Chain A
Amino acid sequence: MAEQAVKKKKKTKPPVTESLLAPGHRACAGCGEALGAKLVMDAAGPNTYVTTCTGCLEVFSTPYPESAWKMPWIHSLFENSSAVAAGIEAALIAQGRDKDVNIIAQGGDGGTADIGIGCLSGMLERGHNILYVCYDNEAYMNTGVQRSGLTPFDARTSTTPVGKRSMGNQTNKKNLPEIAAAHGIPYSATATVGYPNDVIRKVQKALKIKGPKFLQIHVPCPLGWIHPTDQTIEVAKLAVLTGLIPIFEMEDGKLTRVRKIGKNRKPVEEYLKAQGRFRHLFKGTPEAEAELEKVRQIAEANIEKYGLA
């Protein structure tokens, strides 16, 4: 088995190229966000201006005087990467420097869905030619795993702890891709580092479209989700295969493509059991079983809504 895998890997080995997100940065082992950002940057290419929210990505990649970014890159504040990107676009247009360049604004789920949603909404609504990428690791990881608007139901975080009267986070993930799509933008999609080629395809597709684009990439965080660092891709795939993270594309507000689960569908327990943040759901108590049933219903609703079956 192992031999075969090695052989196969050799066969499909991509040409060695230098990544635009250089190695040697300070991300944790198994960081889904670092992987996601690398995929996005290499898909976009060097003629790309990048703005980044405060968060893990900014902190691990730019401790002065080091920087992992091989393209023009700026971090300003937690909540304004979309507005800073809009300013960059405006200045490039005014100076005649906007031809054949991409602009990507990016941030984590907190910087995008919570504190940065005002600036994001403004950027999307005004029609800037910018791709916004949200790396969704489902909590404020940089500050120590606090709950965000994209934290999933029942997840334990440091501000939605599990206790006598609590089963963790009691709200569902804010549906940010659909909120983005509701701005009337030409492209809004989700992706996951579990399927890297799909991330690359979506970034390249988005960058060919003029106007504001939104891409939310599901990126496991071994530290916050509590799973082994070599399980990032597996966990990411399970999120999709259980129906908890639907992967889809919306063009001009309409659902145009989904990643079908079909017969590969897995029970939600496989995804939840792989992570310490859902450990409390497996105590075998009636309360825990009731919570598990709620999570199953969330998956069921996703599968029906997006036609994932």
Chain B
Amino acid sequence: MKEFIEGSMAVARGVAVCRPHVVSAYPITPQTHIVEHLSELVADGILDSQFINVESEFGAASVVLGAAAAGGRAFSATTSQGLLLMGEVLYNISGMRLPLVITVANRAVSAPINIWNDHSDAMVFRDAGWIMLFAEDNQEVHDMHIQAYKIGETREISLPVMVNMDGFILTHAYEPVDTISQKDADDFLPPFDPVVKLDVDNPLTMGPLGEPQWYLETRYRIQQAMLEAKPVVKQVAKEFKEKFGRWYGDVIDGYRMDDAEIVYVAMGSICGTIKDTIDELRDKGEKVGLLKIRMFRPFPGEEIIDALKDKQKVIVLEKALSLGASGMLSDEIKAAFYATPHRPEISSTFAGLGGRDISKTSLADLYHKVKGERQDNMFVDLKEELV
């Protein structure tokens, strides 16, 4: 059923049909509407979940960790400082192989305090053992949650999933969303059947001390599970398409890529603006396309190489940067091309940090600049008079 709803509501509804046993969260802008909507669904008796209001994001992450350890399907949502405060627990959740889902309403990181969108928060945790998905619009983010649970709960994978959506740009935007019915959700997502769980009838120890003779192999196993998650993500996207008819690509997606010579690479909602820009540039005869990265972890290096290897130039447009190095996404794309005989010229560019609007004009200017010469470590729309 198509409904005209806010992005946060799209998430809440997408989560609710997954029947989470436990939802726990702490308020932080721009995540709040997601958990407010979920608490309303619980209050109205529509969602039969335990909703736990906690004293901090650290507490929220710990509550959902405990819930998943006890065999429950668990959900939380946060952003920015809240995600950072969860950090210690995020590593713990993946280390314990607990497949829960956390939505991140991506936001800049303080200081200076800034509540607007970029990807600095999520990218901090790219090494934390979480499957990381990025949504472009509210329909995709609605559909992404049921896929996230199905991916993470696949027994061979058993890893947590972080669903990323741009703060405000998606969380607070109203769009028509084709919402998933409970019946369809139940058909698509089986009940959570964990590999291990805390149970008085079958007592076991979780979270033991891993001394040097054991620890390294735990990292190996998580790495293997991460690599095995890639085909699972693809399979689940395919199953979703068969059931619901909607497709966003699996781990990556292309837009007007076939004869493109210069290609933007980006994640999240900016892909929409880039597509419009591409249409306008195409009208003027420019051979330009977009490669959307839908999954950042596990990193889809082979798929990216395959999509970009014959292109002349690549503009990686990033909403985050590793201060003192470069862009996390562009660095990994460059690394992926290390062993290939041919590679495109790659420009790392930073845009939209702290919620700075990225206009079609800026995107088109960037295209023309890159067409002229490589623009590496370039800050789009940098106000020279301020620096």
- Chain A residues with Cβ below 8 Å from B204 are 72-73
* Bound complex: CA A88 to CA B52 (Å): 12
Interchain nearest-CB distance for B51 vs A (Å) = 9
- Chain A residues with Cβ below 8 Å from B210 are 64
Q: Are A77 and B89 in contact (CB under 8 A)?
A: yes
8 Å CB interface, A58-72 against B? 58-59, 62-65, 67, 69-72
Q: Are A69 and B205 in contact (CB under 8 A)?
A: yes
Q: Are A126 and B52 in contact (CB under 8 A)?
A: yes
A1 interface contact, C-beta 8 A: no
Q: Are B22 and A67 in contact (CB under 8 A)?
A: no
Q: Are B206 and A73 in contact (CB under 8 A)?
A: yes
* Bound complex: CA A87 to CA B71 (Å): 10
Interchain nearest-CB distance for B39 vs A (Å) = 14
- Chain A residues with Cβ below 8 Å from B89 are 76-77, 80
**Contact among A79, A87, A95 for B65, CB-based, below 8 A:** A87
Q: Are B70 and A91 in contact (CB under 8 A)?
A: yes
Proximity bits, B311-335, A CB within 8 Å = 1, else 0: 0000000000000000000000000
Interchain nearest-CB distance for B344 vs A (Å) = 44
* Bound complex: CA A69 to CA B89 (Å): 23
Interface residues on B, range: 35 or more
**Contact among B48, B52, B198, B206 for A90, CB-based, below 8 A:** B52
**Contact among B21, B69, B214 for A74, CB-based, below 8 A:** B69
Q: Which of B1-9, B56-64, B372-380 contacts A (4 or more CB under 8 A)?
A: B56-64
Q: Are B59 and A90 in contact (CB under 8 A)?
A: no
Interchain nearest-CB distance for B90 vs A (Å) = 11
Interface residues on A, range: 35 or more
8 Å CB interface, A27-51 against B? 46-49, 51
A2 interface contact, C-beta 8 A: no
- Chain A residues with Cβ below 8 Å from B88 are 77
* Bound complex: CA A191 to CA B70 (Å): 30
Q: Are B203 and A62 in contact (CB under 8 A)?
A: no
Given contacts A63-B211, A77-B89, A91-B72, contact A86 B205 (CB under 8 A): no
Q: Are A88 and B66 in contact (CB under 8 A)?
A: yes
A288 interface contact, C-beta 8 A: no
* Bound complex: CA A188 to CA B202 (Å): 31
**Contact among A62, A83, A87 for B74, CB-based, below 8 A:** A87
B106 interface contact, C-beta 8 A: no
* Bound complex: CA A51 to CA B63 (Å): 12
* Bound complex: CA A73 to CA B69 (Å): 10
B171 interface contact, C-beta 8 A: no
Q: Are B205 and A91 in contact (CB under 8 A)?
A: no
Number of A-B contacts (CB under 8 A): 161
A118 interface contact, C-beta 8 A: yes
Interchain nearest-CB distance for A112 vs B (Å) = 14
Interchain nearest-CB distance for B199 vs A (Å) = 6
Q: Which residue of A lies closest to B59 (CB)?
A: A83
- Chain A residues with Cβ below 8 Å from B63 are 83-84, 86-87, 90
A122 interface contact, C-beta 8 A: yes
Proximity bits, A81-97, B CB within 8 Å = 1, else 0: 00111111111111101
| Most B CB within 10 A of own CB, among A46, A47, A64, A71 | A64
B92 interface contact, C-beta 8 A: yes
- Chain A residues with Cβ below 8 Å from B59 are 80, 83, 118-119, 122
Q: Are A64 and B56 in contact (CB under 8 A)?
A: no
Q: Are A72 and B24 in contact (CB under 8 A)?
A: no
Given contacts A47-B200, A72-B203, A75-B207, contact A84 B71 (CB under 8 A): no
Q: Are A87 and B62 in contact (CB under 8 A)?
A: yes
Proximity bits, B182-215, A CB within 8 Å = 1, else 0: 0000000000000000111011111111110010
* Bound complex: CA A73 to CA B58 (Å): 21
Interchain nearest-CB distance for A113 vs B (Å) = 16
Given contacts A49-B198, A88-B198, contact A74 B207 (CB under 8 A): yes
* Bound complex: CA A71 to CA B56 (Å): 29
- Chain B residues with Cβ below 8 Å from A89 are 66
* Bound complex: CA A48 to CA B201 (Å): 10
Given A73-B206, A86-B62, A91-B72, 8 more A-B residue pairs with CB atoms under 8 Å apart are: A62-B208, A63-B211, A72-B204, A74-B69, A76-B62, A91-B67, A94-B22, A119-B56
Binding site for B on A (CB under 8 A): 46-49, 51, 58-59, 62-65, 67, 69-77, 79-80, 83-95, 97, 101, 118-119, 121-122, 125-126
Binding site for A on B (CB under 8 A): 21-22, 24, 48-50, 52-56, 58-59, 62-72, 74, 88-89, 92, 96, 198-200, 202-211, 214
30 contacts across the A-B interface (CB closer than 8 A): A47-B200, A49-B200, A62-B207, A63-B209, A64-B208, A65-B208, A65-B214, A67-B208, A69-B205, A72-B199, A75-B207, A75-B208, A77-B89, A80-B65, A83-B54, A83-B62, A86-B66, A87-B65, A90-B21, A90-B66, A91-B67, A94-B49, A94-B50, A94-B67, A94-B72, A97-B199, A101-B200, A118-B58, A122-B55, A125-B55
